[in-house]
Amino acid sequence: MSLDVAASRARGSLILGASGLLGRHLARALLDAQPEAAAPLRLQLRPSSDAAPLLALLEGIDSARYAIERYELDDAEALRAQFEGAPTVFLLAAAKRGRPEDMARATLGATTCVLDALAACSAPPRLLHVSSLAVYATAQCAPGSVVDEAAPIEPEPWKRDAYTHLKCAQEALVVHRARRDQLSVCIARPGILVGPDALGLPGRLALPLPAGFWLAPGLDLPLPMVHLRHAAQALAFIERAARFEGECFNLVDTPMLRGCEFVALLREAKRAPRLLPIRPVLMSRLGGLLQRLGRLRRGPLASFPTPYQARSAFTAFDYRSALPALGFSTSETLREALQRDLELQP
């Protein structure tokens, strides 16, 4: 579809990154919730993105109710023309492959262009930025601490990993520009996304080893997971119910599943890999030893969690969300949703 054709259509809300794992589920949730007479939902994809998974999820929905648009997020003036008249822009686009420095450049560069374009609009659309639970300063929290929207943000994200560093920088940029340019912004922080296309072992549960084994320090931990359908429904709810005055919302399913409970579901479906359990405290000590040896050799000995990373990810926390108090709920629990995905009997 050409940009001229897309621009001539009625202006509906716009999802940036609609071909991604969460983006395509969000498209379905928004279309399921909105009246058929509403303006077509606009779905932005990069020129090289595969639209097949998105179209498969939208099967059964009249194609006149949405418009697929292909363009990069690297030209603020062109984006301004795309954004004019849209009620809400959902920012889900991010670079997820390549070297950390390339991912940061692409993601932060695109986010800067998006913010520049919004600020230049005659009536800037609201921005719903999708961040991550990873931005919280959990390395400084005691075991069992409540991690809600009031928890502090990670002050040293470079000590964690490239993803945390990137999401913290992106969120800080969005908050700064929203204040400076008086943009209407809301931030959503999803937990670990699981669902029909995401049923592998998350990094907070296990780490891959050679020969098909996984080192599993997270078996006894409650995991801050959110099902893809539930996260998408939550974002659609936020668009309808939030004030867009800079508020933040965690996206996490409760009750949380422990790592061993998630693995038990995978085993029942014969989809669990071979696990080598390890206590988080032992892994932290081993990571500290490797870190010290690496400093002596002036180079890393192995890709292994440092004590700081172990504290932030492999400690039991009580993750909470303000969304239920706002009126959001799902019709199924996380366990029930996963049982359906894995074709298990409830």
How large is the average pLDDT for residues 276-300? 82
In angstroms, the Cα distances linking 212 to 208, 209, 216, 304 are 7, 6, 13, 17
Global pTM reads: 0.93
Give mean pLDDT, residues 284-311: 79
- Summarize pLDDT for 232-273 with one digit per residue, the tens: 999 999 999 999 999 999 999 999 999 999 999 999 999 999
Residues 204-230 have a mean pLDDT of 94
Q: Rounded to 5 degrees, what are φ and ψ at 329? A: -155, 160
* Mean pLDDT along residues 3-10: 44
Average confidence (pLDDT) over 91-115: 83
Q: How confident is the model at residue 6 (pLDDT cuts 50, 70, 90)?
A: very low
Cα 141 from Cα 153, distance rounded (Å): 11
Residue 5: pLDDT band with limits 50, 70, 90: very low
**Pair 69, 106: CB distance under 8 Å:** no
Distances in Å between the Cα of 180 and the Cα atoms of 15, 151, 161, 183, 303 are: 24, 24, 29, 8, 40
What is the tens place of the pLDDT at every residue in 124-166? 999 999 999 999 999 999 999 999 999 999 999 999 988 899 9
pLDDT band at 102 (very low <50, low <70, confident <90, very high): confident
CA angle in degrees (0–180, nearest 5) for 336-132-162: 125
Provide the pLDDT confidence category of residue 298 given band limits of 50, 70 and 90: low
Rounded Cα distance between 113 and 59, Å, is 32
Residues in the chain: 346
Work out the mean pLDDT of the chain and round it to a whole number: 92
Residue 26 to residue 174: CA distance in whole angstroms: 21
Task: With cut-offs at 50, 70 and 90, classify the pLDDT of residue 231.
Answer: very high
Phi and psi of 311, rounded to 5°? Answer: -65, -40
